[in-house]
Amino acid sequence: MKNLINFIIKYFSWFVFIFYVTISCMLLFDNNPYQHHVYLTSANRICSSIFSVFNNVTSYFHLHEINEDLHHRNAMLEMEVINLRNELADIKLMLPDSTFSSPAVHDYDFILAHVINNSISQPQNYITINRGSDDGITPEMGVIDHNGVVGIVNVVGSHSARIISLLNPQFRLSCKVKGHDYFGSMVWDGKDPYHAVLEELPKHVKFAKGDTIVTSGYSSVFPEGLIVGTIEEQVKDKNDNFFSLRIALSSDFTQLSTVRAIKNKRHDEIVKLSQEQASDRKEARK
Amino acid sequence: MLQFALLFIMMIIVQTICNHICIFGIAIPLVYIYFIVRLPINLSVNWVMTLAFFLGLTIDIFSNTQGMNALACTITTVLRRPIFSLYFAREDDLANPIPSIRTLGTGIYIKYLLSIVLVFNIILFFIQSFTLSNIVLTLLRIVASTILSTLLIFGIDSLDNTKREKRL
């Protein structure tokens, strides 16, 4: 007994060391980002209040570029409104007695939020925003800015939330080339914050450089047709059955400021349906 | 004691600002290790490890890295004593146990500081990349980040020194 106590005292530092290393490794190899606790991410109250202070200062830095961007986008949208109005008028002429409305748009709502912390140089990047569960943010909401897709909410505090950035290899986004129905999944290759790779596209289709990549709408997170980026070049996929496209991302992750979280009004319904389907399948197996 | 508590908080704030810096896409300043450099050399290693672990964990929370900095910090701390005795064998001769330019002399202090920052960067970037698939890039990042961090730490160090001289 005495020897044991002596042994423990003698090597106490090693026990302390192993203890801390074990805790660190447990945190490090916890691969599921959706299960991180809110206190251990930047969505907690102290972090978000400090980031808000920083953001009050730094948010003025890129105002000029952001303004320019918004003007550009505004002009584009105005053009689109005019075009759509014309089209709608034409269609109404053709079908005078039908009530015309597109239900897909009304399924989604937006919550505006400011980015208070953002990283682009880590191998796995996250973004913190200043809206949380009190403002209606829930995990697994899609996040976009005025240029395109930004990420997906994963940890939510009461007044802040953490988003898995598109610049995170753990986030795969289902995308398609505008005008085609072929879809693939987009993932960041970790090289630079302006490009990502769209994988798993069929080999026989030819795509042109500069084509627009949009979300496929196959999940309830993002509506169909949100701009993600444009094709820059074709690259060979790791396995030879598919090929990949190198995408120039449309959102500038170095200058994120205001983002919108997408609230899908039918999210619960869709989740419930897929759960029912899963349980049905289980019963069928029995 | 109070001095180190202040340094702890200051390092967290400085590192949070530094997280936004990334020069040429490879050099990332990691200045918070300065806190571990400055801890008294005769402080028990258990205490140093505890402080280092919690410092690393706080940095992790602020930069969303989940245990990476905590692990690198803890391992570096264990190597601090051996590195120190490598350059300064007669520990008992120290009048002031807090390592600084004045207590150690410029040459030894620079060597000690550079070694710790280098060791810390090596550990951190290998944890970060984990596989050695792109070893050239990792080595480049280690070297660039070590140089940048050391320069920044010298900046902080000189601020600290001028303040003290004025007070005297």
Each residue's pLDDT tens digit, A168-216:
888 888 888 887 778 888 888 877 888 888 888 777 777 788 888 888 8
Query: What pLDDT score was predicted for residue A103?
Result: 45
User: Residue B27 in 3-state DSSP?
Assistant: strand
Range of the domain at A222: 173-258
More confident residue, A33 or B48: B48
Residue A51 lies in a domain: yes
If pLDDT is split at 50, 70 and 90, which confidence band does A102 have?
A: very low
**10-residue mean pLDDT series, chain B (168 residues):** 84 83 81 87 84 89 84 89 80 72 80 90 84 77 89 83 54
The predicted model gives A262-270 an average pLDDT of 75
Number of domains in chain B: 1
A41 has pLDDT over 80? no
Tell which residue, A107, A68, A75, has the closest CA to residue A267: A107
Block residue for tokens 């829930």: A138
pLDDT at B9: 87
CB < 8 Å to B53, chain A: 20, 23-24
Closest Cα in chain A, distance from residue B10 (Å): 13
Q: How confident is the model at residue A101 (pLDDT cuts 50, 70, 90)?
A: very low
Closest partner residue to B61 (CB to CB) among A23, A41, A119 is A41
pLDDT in tens, A156-165: 888 888 888 8
Domain-ending residue, one of A168, A187, A211: A168
Q: Residue B53 is nearest to which of A20, A25, A26, comparing CB atoms?
A: A20
In this predicted structure, the answer to whether residue A108 has a pLDDT above a threshold of 80 is no
| CATH code for position A157 | 2.40.10.340
**Tokens encoding A75:** 């002009």
Same domain, A210 and A228: yes
Residue that is last in its domain, among A168, A191, A223: A168
- Environment class of residue B107 by beta-carbon count within 10 Å: exposed (0-12), middle (13-18) or buried (19+)? exposed
Which chain B residues are within 8 Å of A28, Cβ to Cβ?
A: 66-68, 71, 127
Q: Are A128 and A110 contained in the same domain?
A: yes
What's the domain range around B6?
2-167
Residues 6+ apart with CB under 8 A from B19: A119, B62, B63
Q: Token pair for residue A9? A: 């005292």
Task: For residue A10, tell me if it sits in a domain.
Answer: no
Identify the band that residue A286 occupies on the pLDDT scale cut at 50, 70 and 90. low
A25 and chain B in contact, CB less than 8 A? yes
Most confident of A22-31, A275-284, B43-52, B126-135: B43-52
- Contact check, Cβ <8 Å, A42/B64: yes
Which of A16, A23, A119 minimises the CB distance to B46? Answer: A16
Output the pLDDT for position A39. 72
**Residue A158, burial from CB neighbour count under 10 angstroms (0-12, 13-18, 19+):** middle
- Domain endpoint, select from A168, A193, A218: A168
Tell me what ipTM this predicted complex has: 0.76
Question: What does the pLDDT read at residue B118?
Answer: 92
Domain count, chain A: 2
> How many beta-carbon pairs under 8 angstroms link A with B?
84
Out of A20, A30, A122, closest to residue B49 by CB: A20
**3-state DSSP of B84-114:** HHHHCCCHHHCCCCCCCHHHHCHHHHHHHHH
Report chain A's mean pLDDT, rounded to a whole number: 80
Yes or no, beta carbons of B67 and A162 under 8 Å apart: no
Q: What is the CATH number of the domain that holds A213?
A: 2.40.10.350
Q: Does A76 touch chain B (CB under 8 A)?
A: no
Region of poorest pLDDT, from A4-8, A120-124, B123-127? A120-124
What is the distance of C-alpha A75 from the center of its chain? Answer: 26
**pLDDT score for B168:** 47
